[in-house]
Amino acid sequence: MKADHGSPQVNIPSVSRLLKTIFIILAGLSVGACPGPDRQTPQQVVAQLVQEGYLKASNTGVADRFGYKVAVSGDTLAVAAVLEGSSATGINGNQTDNSAPLSGAVYVFTREAGGWLQQAYLKASNTEGNDHFGSSIALSGDTLVVGAVAEDSASTGVNGGQADNSASGSGAVYVFTRVNGAWTQQAYLKAFNTEADDAFGWDVAISGDTIAVGAVTEDSAAVGVNGNEADNMAIDSGAVYVFTRTGGAWTQQAYIKASNANTGGRFGHAVAMSGDMLVVGAQGEASAAVGVNGNQSDNSAPNSGAAYVFTRNSGIWSQQAYLKASNTDAGDGFGGAVGINGDTLVVGASAEASSADGVNSNQADNTAHNSGAAYVFTRVGNVWAQQAYLKASNSSGADAFGSTVALDGNWVVVGAFGEASTTTGVNGNQSDDTAVNTGAVYTFTRNGVAWSQQAYVKASVTGIDMFGSSLALSGNTLVAGAPLEASAAFGINGNQADNSSPQSGAAYVFQFR
């Protein structure tokens, strides 16, 4: 999970300091593969993208940040409130005792014939203040994965002891499963080399019976797959851990590092999976290479960022590609958000600075600082190449376009939480930049190999909400989080106009019809 706000470049001086005092972690959800929208014509899609739901927590509270992360699979969606404060544990506990501030919660909703309903209220099995349960989430069918990036236990591996809080900010991941509408916690995951400040659970992804977990500030100097984790000479280089499930039992399958693991690389900042493929973003990577499989050793472009593609064959993971932007620049944060589906992947760079608009336009004019960009790559055989360079139709400095991405087949959705127009709904007026950090979402579709923007999406009521800070896409359903939204409403489709609960947060559901 990443922290991109204000200037969208992540800032992690010390995870224990950051994660114990954090007020907002805005980032790249890196959304993996999901079934996609019906393949309608672009004209049909633009005309028929409609808002279907406005979701609030069942216990809306000031500064809970509901909508910080969202995930959707079929007719089920999950919304994280990373700073929610109840001391409940497990499933559907007491929501009213706010004696565990910043512990975090996740809310599960299902779509029935009459609309959306809240199905469950989830807490960690070891709820404690400041753990930030819900700092990352991923959903696939009846399995939900939740990261708690600031959890403190010193246990290792699967289902270890939760009570020893001697590894501050080590992080944990919780796996929940649903049977006949009832959710239970199936597993409690820790790194096999748990250490303080590693931020295990910063981002998570799931595909079938495989989970990937990013630990963005893990420190080992190992490179590649299953290297030596004991040499902590590469501070905040980052790592990814892969777990697999057989029956109901989870085990760690792989420990993955960048091929050029370096101090500050933050490998694992974003993760996404599709079958036997894994893409990992490293927003702090520093090489000046451009394109695919370039020179990794020239670290003259700090925080330019990179993405790495791994494939699994007979249970063995190996790196297939090293990706950089076509216009690599220091500070761009390429890899802050990633998504993958089949032979297509997308990488966000929320601090990219060109003033270009639209698809494949001029990358060279860096006069729009932190406007942001997204890059689409495709694979033929085992060879990856960049297919498109995406910008907003109304690029502007500090928009952070590319801070979140979602991908499905011929569809890419990109969030820009800093976008500033005051319009509402779909395809409104983009030119009024008077409301900073209202946020927007942009949808793109591919016809053959050509990409075009199809919709410009805003919340139904615009405020300084950071709409688009999180994104998820499944089937015909698009979900966008707005963690700074301020209404005091509860539940589904309540009153959006009463802004008496600052930063309580909301999520918006859109349907392609």
| Confidence at residue 215, expressed as pLDDT on a 0 to 100 scale | 98
Q: Which residue has the higher pLDDT, 512 or 194?
A: 194
Task: State mean pLDDT over 424-438.
Answer: 92
Burial (CB count <10 Å: 0-12, 13-18, 19+), residue 297? exposed
**pLDDT score of 8 more than 50:** no
Distance in angstroms (rounded) separating the CA atoms of residues 239 and 150 = 16
Distance in angstroms (rounded) separating the CA atoms of residues 95 and 58 = 8
Distance in angstroms (rounded) separating the CA atoms of residues 126 and 107 = 17
Distance in angstroms (rounded) separating the CA atoms of residues 388 and 352 = 15
Q: Yes or no: say if 354 and 334 are a contact pair by the CB < 8 Å rule.
A: no
Q: Tell whether 5 is covered by a domain.
A: no
Q: Tell whether 158 is covered by a domain.
A: yes
Q: Tell whether 188 is covered by a domain.
A: yes
Burial (CB count <10 Å: 0-12, 13-18, 19+), residue 448? exposed
Q: Which residue has the higher pLDDT, 35 or 395?
A: 395
Cα atoms found within 13 Å of the Cα of residue 41, Cβ hemisphere only = 3
The band of 26, judged by pLDDT with boundaries at 50, 70 and 90, is very low
Angle at 389 between CA 263 and CA 305, to 5 degrees: 0
| Confidence at residue 41, expressed as pLDDT on a 0 to 100 scale | 35
Q: Tell whether 9 is covered by a domain.
A: no
Instruction: Determine what percent of the chain is predicted with pLDDT higher than 70.
Output: 91
Compute the Cα dihedral for 424, 429, 430, 434 and give only its sign. negative
Arithmetic mean of pLDDT over the chain: 91
As given in the structure block, the two tokens for residue 461 are 């009521």
Closest CA to 67 of 461, 509, 510: 509
Q: Tell whether 452 is covered by a domain.
A: yes
pLDDT tens per residue across span 196-221: 999 999 999 999 999 999 999 999 99
**pLDDT score of 39 more than 70:** no
Distance in angstroms (rounded) separating the CA atoms of residues 383 and 379 = 5
- How distant is the alpha carbon of residue 488 from its chain centre? 26
Q: Tell whether 175 is covered by a domain.
A: yes
**Residues with Cβ < 8 Å from 76, sequence gap 6 or more?**
108, 109, 110, 111, 119, 139
Q: Tell whether 501 is covered by a domain.
A: yes
Task: State mean pLDDT over 297-305.
Answer: 96
Domain with 91 in it: what CATH number?
2.130.10.130
Closest CA to 214 of 400, 70, 15: 15
Distance in angstroms (rounded) separating the CA atoms of residues 239 and 419 = 32
| Neighbouring-strand partners of residue 280 | 271, 308
Phi-psi region of 159 (alpha: psi -120 to 50; beta: other; left: phi over 0): left
**pLDDT score of 13 more than 80:** no
**Largest distance between two CA atoms of the chain:** 57
Domain that holds residue 72: 15-387+398-512
- The total number of structural domains in the chain stands at 1
The band of 114, judged by pLDDT with boundaries at 50, 70 and 90, is confident
As given in the structure block, the two tokens for residue 311 are 């494939």
As given in the structure block, the two tokens for residue 61 are 């509270």
Q: Tell whether 1 is covered by a domain.
A: no
pLDDT tens per residue across span 133-191: 999 999 999 999 999 999 999 999 999 999 999 999 999 999 999 999 999 999 999 99
Amino acid residing at 274: S
Closest CA to 256 of 196, 195, 319: 319
Compute the Cα dihedral for 2, 404, 353, 345 and give only its sign. positive
**Residues with Cβ < 8 Å from 501, sequence gap 6 or more?**
60, 61, 62, 486, 487, 488
